[in-house]
Amino acid sequence: MMQRKLSVILENKPGALARIVGLFHQRGYNIESLHVDPVKDVENYKDIEELLNITLKENEVSRLIITTTVSDTLLRQILRQINKLIDVLIAQEESK
């Protein structure tokens, strides 16, 4: 098991963060740290806009960084589950 950082871009809506934390809680995964900021500069997310065919606006989405310790198999499972949540635009392992 290794410490991993997950980057999640999600819509800035009530309950979005609670659904992600609830997913971790329900499955018994531990969140070691959690950091959330609204996205002010959407220019850095043009690739997500193109991929999802959407237009992001300042403060309408947030970037969530989750640190957890999991195996490769669990990491893939967690990312699949997070990406299924309705308010999540994209979830991936943070680049090192």
In this predicted structure, what is the pLDDT of residue 33?
Answer: 96
Residue 22: per-residue pLDDT: 92
pLDDT value of residue 50:
84
Residue holding tokens 């009530």? 14
Give pairs for 26-30: CB < 8 Å, separation 24+: 27/78, 27/81, 29/68, 29/70, 29/74, 29/78, 30/68, 30/69
Q: Letter for the amino acid at 67? A: T
2-93: CATH topology is: Alpha-Beta Plaits (3.30.70)
Domain ranges of the chain: 2-93
Identify the pLDDT of residue 19.
Answer: 92
pLDDT in tens, the chain (96 residues): 899 999 999 988 899 999 999 999 998 888 999 999 998 887 877 888 888 888 888 888 899 999 999 889 999 999 999 999 999 999 999 876
